């Protein structure tokens, strides 16, 4: 077996490893080196064509920021998940015109609805390695100095990249900070809702079925991207024209069968498979149990605060849906990692790795850096309770006040020295978010969520309390209730025009404001800045030291002949495998395809199993036309593969051996939710909407023949 020296290991990731077809979220640049594995899995295309994200087929895959989508026509038509479009659906809903409940179809382009001023579609046009450029000024430095050097280099690279208007750039780290890549994306700003089925189709089963198999959800929706008449990105305008993408997928009309090749391309969020044993233990023994309790309590709080009020329920529908998804994911991750005995497995693996490392010629220095890394991780534990709860003390309107005050502070600096997220490039997105807040906020509900979060804050050990937070909220629950009533009774930020006016004021003007929320945000700001400084010091050390752990881990994996790939980080990745059944427990065998019969079997007439009458009638008629499965003799709904996915892959296109679109990824099975930390091929499955179900709904149930025609699909 080929030996991999620690200092050269990052350049030999594939040469030294035996890659599995069903494991790994691969960078496109790595795929030509996986040609043999792709061909063995059944791929019929040219793996070399997967190398370039700016050309077909991968140029058709786009990011929504937290979700993935793909172009399916030359006229900017985009398909993604219903739950990824939920924000736009909710934004355009009222109790009288409830698009969440009733769905939406734009019969013509003039009827398409803006997804909101903050909605974006990002088309990747560049993906370049810039490690030497980013680390040049950081070498020899430690802590905050290391962080600042990397941060300055990142900002400089981004500023140069964004010199051409219409683009959004970012610098991302790979392998714990051993490598850096510059990502350049076209930023499309005029995004419109085209089609969304009723929630009783798009989210059939809701949280009961979430992360479960068998599934029967039609989790899809359509957007369209628009640009100015000059073809360049522009804000919403009736004069804009559909964007013409560099590539779009052809929707397959062929059947999907067990054992078929499948490939997913998307923007998975974050995985942690290469973290230390102590980080695994903290995640399983402390963080996940506490996150579950926190999210569950917050959902209950919002449900109680919105009960009996349709307007409040609509305003918080997207928020609650996201919280429920995160809750179930956290619980599933906890159960899965415990089931896999992940703490023991990871600790034993790390112990063996360190023993192996001690025998390597250059192992002594690496071990010293790994010990220093562990000391930093241990130090984080001292404030973990506070760090978990503080983000929940800045919801909605209060969060907007904090953001307005911080932006005013940052505007007093040269743009290159502003904090990331508050540079000139960020101001349009900030303004868009402040505008959208109007449809996602209610003062009584927000106060209820703050009272819930403050109860946990007041229970913190005294050393973790912050004087500025005590000054704003008081020192106990009774005092906090009075303070919150006064804050929200006196503020004028609930009015959109007032918020936007405050956004344009400088720090001195805001400091003179008598608005209680703006004054509260100003009081909180020193504490937030202090915590941020502490975080940057720690982040700098972790960024400096983690590469030593990663180089050792990669070399050790390669010595075992095991697969090596970078953890997911929101960049474009490709995974490949097959349509696969699942046997999660003794005596239980799941086939990988579900049909409309399951919709009828689950239907109770009560949410979340309240299939709409047009759907039930169409199923009863049995008129499935060209979308019927030739083997099952009925209409399929969802299917399952062994593709390696995680959060952020929602909406990702699932492709067949010839690169045609056969499904939309929307979930994982319960047994595989823990795959963000530990991959287990026995259990890891991904769940997808069958494009045949989408086609049938558009043809027979909630008809949109114009969309079928645009995608060059049969009308029946």
| Residue 19 confidence (pLDDT) | 44
- Residue 544, CA distances (Å) to 42, 550, 556 in order: 41, 11, 20
- The 3-class secondary structure across 388-428, one letter per residue, is HHHHHHCCHHHHHHHHHHHHHHHHCCCHHHCCCCCCHHHHH
Structure tokens at 695: 């086609």
Instruction: State how far Cα 32 lies from the chain centre.
Output: 27
Instruction: Name the catalytic one among 82, 83, 216, 248.
Output: 83
Q: Look at residue 547 and tell me whether its pLDDT is greater than 80.
A: yes
- Active site (annotated) includes residue 362: no
Across 236-259, average pLDDT: 97
Segment 163-188, tens digit of pLDDT: 999 999 999 999 999 999 999 999 99
| Residue 563 confidence (pLDDT) | 60
Segment 73-103, tens digit of pLDDT: 999 999 999 999 999 999 999 999 999 999 9
d(CA 297, CA 282): 21
| Residue 259 confidence (pLDDT) | 96
d(CA 299, CA 312): 14
Cis preceding linkage at 57, omega within 30: yes
Return the closest-CA partner of residue 416 out of 160, 628, 660.
160
> Could you report how far apart the first and last alpha carbons of the chain are, in Å?
56
Return the closest-CA partner of residue 188 out of 125, 126, 243.
243
Across 569-592, average pLDDT: 95
Across 122-131, average pLDDT: 96
* Region of 244 on the Ramachandran plot (φ > 0 left; ψ -120 to 50 alpha; else beta): beta
Q: Look at residue 16 and tell me whether its pLDDT is greater than 60.
A: no
Across 350-358, average pLDDT: 97
d(CA 504, CA 500): 7
- Active site (annotated) includes residue 674: no
In this prediction, residue 2 has a pLDDT band, given cuts at 50, 70 and 90, of very low
Structure tokens at 641: 């593969």
Tell me which residue has tokens 């109790």: 95
Contact 373, 545 (CB under 8 A): yes
In this prediction, residue 46 has a pLDDT band, given cuts at 50, 70 and 90, of very high
Segment 380-403, tens digit of pLDDT: 999 999 999 999 999 999 999 999
Cis preceding linkage at 214, omega within 30: yes
Instruction: Name the catalytic one among 70, 318, 575, 650.
Output: 650
Exposed e or buried b for every residue in 425-463, given b needs 16+ CB within 10 A? Answer: bbeebbbbbbbbbebbbbbebbbbbbbbbbebbbebeee
- Active site (annotated) includes residue 83: yes
Instruction: Name the catalytic one among 219, 442, 638, 690.
Output: 219
d(CA 209, CA 603): 13
Contact 91, 85 (CB under 8 A): no
Q: Look at residue 494 and tell me whether its pLDDT is greater than 80.
A: yes
Across 627-649, average pLDDT: 96
Across 442-451, average pLDDT: 97
Segment 498-537, tens digit of pLDDT: 999 999 999 999 999 999 999 999 999 999 999 999 999 9
Helix locations, 560-667, DSSP H? 596-602, 613-621
Q: Quote the mean pLDDT of the chain.
A: 94
């Amino acid at each position: 077996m080929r030996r991999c020296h620690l200092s050269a290991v990052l350049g030999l990731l594939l040469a030294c490893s035996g890659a599995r077809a069903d494991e790994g979220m691969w960078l496109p640049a790595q795929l030509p080196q996986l040609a043999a594995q792709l061909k063995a899995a059944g791929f019929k295309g040219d793996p070399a064509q997967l190398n370039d994200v700016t050309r077909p087929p991968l140029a058709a895959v786009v990011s929504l920021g937290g979700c993935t989508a793909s172009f399916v026509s030359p006229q900017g038509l985009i398909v993604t998940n219903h739950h990824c479009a939920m924000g736009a659906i909710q934004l355009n809903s009222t109790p009288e015109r409830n698009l969440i409940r009733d769905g939406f179809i734009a019969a013509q382009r003039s009827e398409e609805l803006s997804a909101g001023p903050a909605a974006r579609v990002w088309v990747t046009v560049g993906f370049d390695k810039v490690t030497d450029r980013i680390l040049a000024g950081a070498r020899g430095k430690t802590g905050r100095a290391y962080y600042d050097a990397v941060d300055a280099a990142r900002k400089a690279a981004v500023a140069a990249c964004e010199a051409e208007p219409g683009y959004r750039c970012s610098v991302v780290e790979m392998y714990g900070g051993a490598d850096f890549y510059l990502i350049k994306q076209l930023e499309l700003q005029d995004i419109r809702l085209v089609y969304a089925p009723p929630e009783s189709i798009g989210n059939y089963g809701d949280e009961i079925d979430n992360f479960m198999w068998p599934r029967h959800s039609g989790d899809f929706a359509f957007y369209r991207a628009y640009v100015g008449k000059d073809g360049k990105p522009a804000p919403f305008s009736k004069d804009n024209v559909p964007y013409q993408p560099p590539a779009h997928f052809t929707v397959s009309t062929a059947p999907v069968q067990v054992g078929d090749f499948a490939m997913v391309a998307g923007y998975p969020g974050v995985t942690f498979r290469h973290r230390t044993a102590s980080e695994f233990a903290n995640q399983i023994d402390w963080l996940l149990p506490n996150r579950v309790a926190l999210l569950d309590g917050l959902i209950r709080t919002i449900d109680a605060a919105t009960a009996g009020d349709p307007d409040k329920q609509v305003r918080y529908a997207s928020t609650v849906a996201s919280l429920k998804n995160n809750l179930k994911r956290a619980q599933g991750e906890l159960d899965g990692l415990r089931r896999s005995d992940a703490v023991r497995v990871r600790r034993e693996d790390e112990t063996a790795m360190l023993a192996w490392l001690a025998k390597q010629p250059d192992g002594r220095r690496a071990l010293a850096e790994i010990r220093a890394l562990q000391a930093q991780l241990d130090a984080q534990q001292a404030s973990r309770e506070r760090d978990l709860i503080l983000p929940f003390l800045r919801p909605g309107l209060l969060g907007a006040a904090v953001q307005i005050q911080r932006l005013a502070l940052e505007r007093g600096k040269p743009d290159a020295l502003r904090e990331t997220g508050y540079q000139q490039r960020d101001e349009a997105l900030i303004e868009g978010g402040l505008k959208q807040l109007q449809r996602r906020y209610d003062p009584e509900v927000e106060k209820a969520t703050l009272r819930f979060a403050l109860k946990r804050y007041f229970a913190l050990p005294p050393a973790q309390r912050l004087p500025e937070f005590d000054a704003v909220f008081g020192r106990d629950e009774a005092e906090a209730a009075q303070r919150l009533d006064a804050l929200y009774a006196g503020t004028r930020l609930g009015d959109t025009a007032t918020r936007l006016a405050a956004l344009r004021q400088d720090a001195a003007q805001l400091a003179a404001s008598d608005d209680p929320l703006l004054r509260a945000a100003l009081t909180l700001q020193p504490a937030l800045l202090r915590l941020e400084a502490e975080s940057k010091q720690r982040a700098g050390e972790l960024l400096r030291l983690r590469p030593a752990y990663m180089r050792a881990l990669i070399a050790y994996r390669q010595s075992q002949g095991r697969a090596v790939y970078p953890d997911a980080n929101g960049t474009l990745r490709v995974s490949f495998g097959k349509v696969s059944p699942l046997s999660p427990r003794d005596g239980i065998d799941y086939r990988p395809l579900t049909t409309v019969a399951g919709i009828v079997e689950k239907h109770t007439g009560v949410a979340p199993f309240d299939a709409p009458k047009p759907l039930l009638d169409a199923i009863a008629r049995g008129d499935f036309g060209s979308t019927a499965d030739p083997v099952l003799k009925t209409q399929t709904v969802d299917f399952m593969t062994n593709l390696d996915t995680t959060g952020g892959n929602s909406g990702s296109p699932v492709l067949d051996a010839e690169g045609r679109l056969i499904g939309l990824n929307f979930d994982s099975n319960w047994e595989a939710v823990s795959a963000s930390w530990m991959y287990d091929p026995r259990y890891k499955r991904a769940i997808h909407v069958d494009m045949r179900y989408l086609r049938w709904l558009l043809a027979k149930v909630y008809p949109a023949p114009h969309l079928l025609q645009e995608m060059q699909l049969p009308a029946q």
